[in-house]
A = this chain, B = another copy of it.
């Protein structure tokens, strides 16, 4: 809608970043295939040639954006080291903190996240694989934490850790899609509450 940036004679990095932002804007609106290089450069207020001065191809920009999104998750690590888990309350604490961090990140970068959750799906093998690897990594992390709880004996021994991790992943994804991607001010507390409560106790009466 509005030109993303100013004009002329930016430093290489700045111009690149400007194009990247414009691309994000454009892709968010139209998806990968619905967005043309023309849209991106118009949004950026930059000439066609300039675009190719900074990126190899349309694929390249999209890829860069996806990578940047993925990298965001690597930084979501609420505590630097393995926390000690003695009681269920410890576990709850950890979960609460994790979800807060994750949901916060997702919301903060919701435009980028949309790329992951809605635009990069169904694209060609390269992106597909990247996404799969990403979800696998995330799954591993969740599973790690869960196993920690199991080992600490604060949750059920017979938990199907693998599938449950998948389910948690799905829960977060859907909540994110529904309540974070488009919302300006989401109710984080309600979301985290719902997540933690459900994960810990299911729907069963206490």
Contact = CB atoms under 8 A, between A and B. Distances in A.
Interface of A: 31-34, 88, 118-124, 146, 149, 154-156, 159-160, 163-164, 166-167, 169-175, 178-179, 190-191, 193-195, 197-206
Q: Which 4 A-B pairs have the closest CB atoms?
A: A170-B174, A170-B170, A202-B202, A163-B194
B124 A34 contact: yes
A96 to B, nearest CB: 14
A78 to B, nearest CB: 19
A34 B119 CA distance: 14
Contacts of A201: 156, 201-202, 204
Given A171-B171, A173-B174, A174-B173, A197 B160 contact: yes
A166 B173 CA distance: 10
A55 B62 CA distance: 31
A206 B156 contact: yes
Contacts of A155: 203-205
- Chain A's interface: helix, strand, loop or mixed, by majority? helix
A169 B194 CA distance: 14
B204 A200 contact: yes
A122 B124 contact: no
A205 B122 contact: no
7 contacts: A118-B122, A120-B122, A156-B204, A156-B206, A163-B175, A170-B171, A201-B201
Contact of A167 (B149, B160, B163, B198): B198
Contacts of A175: 163, 166-167, 170
B31 A122 contact: yes
Contact of A160 (B123, B169, B194): B194
A184 to B, nearest CB: 18
Given A123-B122, A172-B170, A200 B197 contact: no
Contacts of A204: 88, 155-156, 200-202
